[in-house]
């Protein structure tokens, strides 16, 4: 089984979010970048497929050279090789189009992406990629087993779970549940050394055009101070009469 894991290069969850150039660009100053958390769960699940079922695992990112440390980290965690599509990511559609080319050229059976990236939260790359490549698609996937050509998936739905069967080629939008938090791997020294020798192939983009454009950013208005109350009657009164929430 040939697996491709899509890796989004995102600001660490604790990052301060600021904008520059008249609020048109994300300010990367002092920001630490990491593997998108949803993708990291998927990458770890892919490692299990590699170890238990002999799958090969490649990772891919659509982005400039600055994303390479994030791809190297994925290699240090255990991926076999990395691909960087050499173009800035501009919107979900453009990224999905570029990824579709990588998927078709590489003949991947299974593509594991994250349900959304935590920077732009588009939540569209996995579905669009499936649509573009004609693969089956399961979103918000919290469990995935593959046996031959058949896959069994569990999807998180509103208020519960849905178990489904499908077949390869398959794209999933993954998240926590594919593996648990405690299963995530921190690269060790040996992994980091090996990662330096693993191939990181830079491929040129097809030049797909975006369909959306972030014109400007703004931050939420600052919040007023909390109202501290010291008894529950007062709280109920405020929730009922002031907030009209109960």
Partner 1 sequence: MSVLVYTESENGTYKKTALEVASYAKGIADMMGTTATAVAINGGDTISLGAHGIDKVLNITNDALGDFNASAFAKAIAQAAKAEGAKVIVLSQSANAKYIAPLLAIELEAGYASNVVGLPESTSPFVVKRTAFTNKAFSNTEITTDVKIVGLGKNAFGLNETSGAAATEDFAVDLGDTSGVKVQSIDKATDKVAIADAEIVVSAGRGLKGPENWEMIEEMADILGAATACSKPVSDLGWRPHGEHVGQTGKPVAANLYIAIGISGAIQHLAGINSSKTKVVINNDPEAPFFKAADYGIVGDAFEIVPKLNEKLKAFKAANS
Binding partner at 160 among ligand FAD, partner 1, none, C-beta below 5 to 8 Å by kind:
partner 1
Alpha-carbon gap, residue 95 to 207, rounded angstroms: 10
- Residue 29 as a binder of ligand FAD (CB under 6 A): the answer is no
Alpha-carbon gap, residue 220 to 209, rounded angstroms: 30
Q: Which of 63, 78, 126, 174 binds partner 1 (CB under 8 A)?
A: 126
Residue number with CB closer to partner 1 (51 or 162):
162
Q: Which of 4, 7, 37, 102 binds ligand FAD (CB under 6 A)?
A: 37
- Residue 182 as a binder of ligand FAD (CB under 6 A): the answer is no
Q: Which of 11, 42, 78, 174 binds partner 1 (CB under 8 A)?
A: 11
Return the closest-CA partner of residue 113 out of 25, 42, 37: 42
Subset of residues 24 to 43 that bind partner 1, contact rule: CB under 8 A: 26, 37-38
Task: Write down the least CB distance from residue 77 to ligand FAD, Å.
Answer: 15
Q: Which of 13, 29, 165, 231 binds ligand FAD (CB under 6 A)?
A: 13
**C-alpha neighbours within 13 Å on the C-beta side of residue 199:** 9
Alpha-carbon gap, residue 112 to 141, rounded angstroms: 10
- Residue 80 as a binder of partner 1 (CB under 8 A): the answer is no
Structure tokens at 195: 């990662």
b/e per residue 210-219 (b: at least 16 CB within 10 A): eeeeeeeeee
CB 117 within 8 A of CB 8: yes
**Helix ranges (DSSP H) in 113-174:** 125-133
Residue number with CB closer to ligand FAD (166 or 175):
175
- Residue 212 as a binder of partner 1 (CB under 8 A): the answer is yes
Task: Write down the least CB distance from residue 13 to ligand FAD, Å.
Answer: 4
Containing 193, the helix (H) or strand (E) segment is: helix 189-197
Task: Summarize as ranges the residues that interact with ligand FAD (CB under 6 A).
Answer: 13, 37
């Amino acid at each position: 089984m040939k697996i491709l894991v899509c890796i989004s290069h995102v600001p660490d969850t604790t990052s301060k979010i600021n904008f520059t150039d008249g609020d048109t660009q994300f300010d990367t100053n002092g920001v630490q970048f990491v593997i998108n958390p949803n993708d990291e769960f998927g990458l770890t699940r892919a490692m299990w497929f590699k170890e238990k079922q002999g799958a090969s695992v490649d990772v891919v990112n659509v982005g400039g050279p600055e994303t390479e440390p994030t791809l190297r980290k994925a290699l240090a965690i255990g991926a076999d090789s990395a691909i960087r599509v050499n173009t800035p990511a501009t919107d979900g559609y453009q990224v999905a189009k570029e990824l579709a080319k990588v998927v078709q050229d590489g003949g991947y059976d299974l593509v594991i992406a994250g349900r959304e990236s935590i920077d732009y939260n588009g939540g569209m790359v996995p579905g669009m990629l499936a649509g573009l490549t004609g693969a089956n698609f399961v979103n918000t996937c919290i469990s995935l087993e593959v046996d031959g050509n058949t896959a069994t998936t569990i999807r998180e739905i509103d208020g519960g779970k849905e178990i489904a069967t499908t077949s390869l080629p398959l794209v999933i939008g993954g998240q926590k549940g594919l593996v648990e938090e405690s299963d995530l791997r921190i690269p060790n020294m040996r992994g980091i050394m090996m990662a330096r020798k693993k191939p990181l192939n830079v491929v040129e983009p097809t030049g797909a055009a975006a369909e959306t454009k972030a014109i400007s950013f703004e931050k939420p208005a600052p919040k007023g101070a909390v109202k501290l109350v010291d008894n529950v009657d007062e709280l109920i009164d405020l929730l009922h009469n002031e907030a009209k929430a109960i």
